[in-house]
Amino acid sequence: MKKIIIAIDGHSSCGKSTLAKSLAKELDYIYVDTGAMYRAVTLYFIQNKIDLSDLIQVEESLKHINIRFQKSGELTHTFLNDKDVEFEIREMSVSNKVSEVAEISVVRKVLVREQQEMGIDKGLVMDGRDIGTVVFPDAELKIFLTASIAVRTRRRFEELNQKGVIVNYKVVENNLNHRDHIDSTRSDSPLKQADDALLIDNSEMDKEKQLEMVKNLALAKILAKRR
Ligand code: DC
């Protein structure tokens, strides 16, 4: 069976990774969370006190960063230089800085190259902000997800609460608005819907219905490849 690449882009906390993960499982495809890669780089920069305005220091430090993913039961964990950082990279300290790091072109250049290498054999569901526009402009299926800010804040707030992270609702909302603003207005690879991406607003849609819909679209694309 021919394999395809599925690109899922969209705003922060609109359920991209939930959809991408479930879809990859249904199709037996590899799932890659590119946001986790930007988060891991951000964690490294914080830990090593890298000055983001010093591009030589930033470029040099990127040579010392190795990011990989490893399955642990149902979950995929992110490893930074062989240390499991899956939980650390989701903390607010990282969320507050990640968009600033993702604006830096040299960071994007390195991560985009790694992401493209992961897609060489296809059979991949990748989520992020620039997957359908920059990383895989020829992806067979492109989805652009969004949801209202109220729905996204509530989902993110509940997710953090479930993980035992105590955080103020307003702080979560401000962080999402702030990240969306930087992600959509940066000069290098801003978040935007690719011309050939399908827009899905899932504010009122349940996860199962969304998965079913996207899975059917993916299967149609896979079948079309066989002809
Ligand atoms: O998907 P996420 O919220 O974990 O992503 C964290 C940040 O990384 C997000 O605010 C923007 C950035 N990002 C990006 O610029 N490009 C990607 N492909 C993925 C994430």
Contact 17, 127 (CB under 8 A): yes
pTM over 0.75: yes
Residues of the chain with pLDDT > 70: what percent? Answer: 100
Which atom of ligand 1 lies closest to the CA of 98?
A: 7
Average pLDDT over residues 103-109: 97
Whether ligand 1 lies within 6 angstroms of the CB of 15 is answered as: no
Would the pLDDT of 30 be above 70? Answer: yes
Q: Which residue has the tokens 């499982």?
A: 25
Residues of the chain with pLDDT > 90: what percent? Answer: 91
Average pLDDT over residues 38-62: 98
How deeply is 164 buried, as exposed, middle or buried, from its count of CB atoms within 10 A (0-12, 13-18, 19+)? exposed
Q: Identify the pLDDT of residue 165.
A: 82
Which of 113, 115, 129 for mutating ligand 1's site (highest number of atoms within 8 Å of CB)? 129
Would the pLDDT of 56 be above 80? Answer: yes
Q: Identify the pLDDT of residue 227.
A: 63
Would the pLDDT of 226 be above 80? Answer: no
Q: Identify the pLDDT of residue 26.
A: 96
Residue nearest (by alpha carbon) to ligand 1 atom 1: 35
Q: Identify the pLDDT of residue 97.
A: 96
Whether ligand 1 lies within 6 angstroms of the CB of 130 is answered as: yes
Q: Identify the pLDDT of residue 197.
A: 98
Whether ligand 1 lies within 6 angstroms of the CB of 136 is answered as: no
Q: What is the pLDDT of residues 58-78, one digit of tens each?
A: 999 999 999 999 988 878 899
Q: What is the DSSP letter of 135?
A: I
Alpha carbon of 98 to ligand 1 centroid (Å)? 7
Residue nearest (by alpha carbon) to ligand 1 atom 18: 128
Q: What is the pLDDT of residues 163-201, one digit of tens each?
A: 888 899 999 999 999 999 999 999 999 999 999 999 999
Q: What is the pLDDT of residues 200-213, one digit of tens each?
A: 999 999 999 999 99
| Domains of the chain with bracketed CATH | 5-225 (3.40.50.300)
Contact 142, 197 (CB under 8 A): yes
Confidence of residue 105 (pLDDT cuts 50, 70, 90): very high
Whether ligand 1 lies within 6 angstroms of the CB of 140 is answered as: no
Q: Identify the pLDDT of residue 225.
A: 87
Which of 34, 133, 193 for mutating ligand 1's site (highest number of atoms within 8 Å of CB)? 34
Q: What is the pLDDT of residues 111-144, one digit of tens each?
A: 999 999 999 999 999 999 999 999 999 999 999 9
Contact 15, 149 (CB under 8 A): no
Q: In what order do the strands lie in the sheet with 30-33?
A: 30-33, 124-128, 5-10, 141-146, 198-201
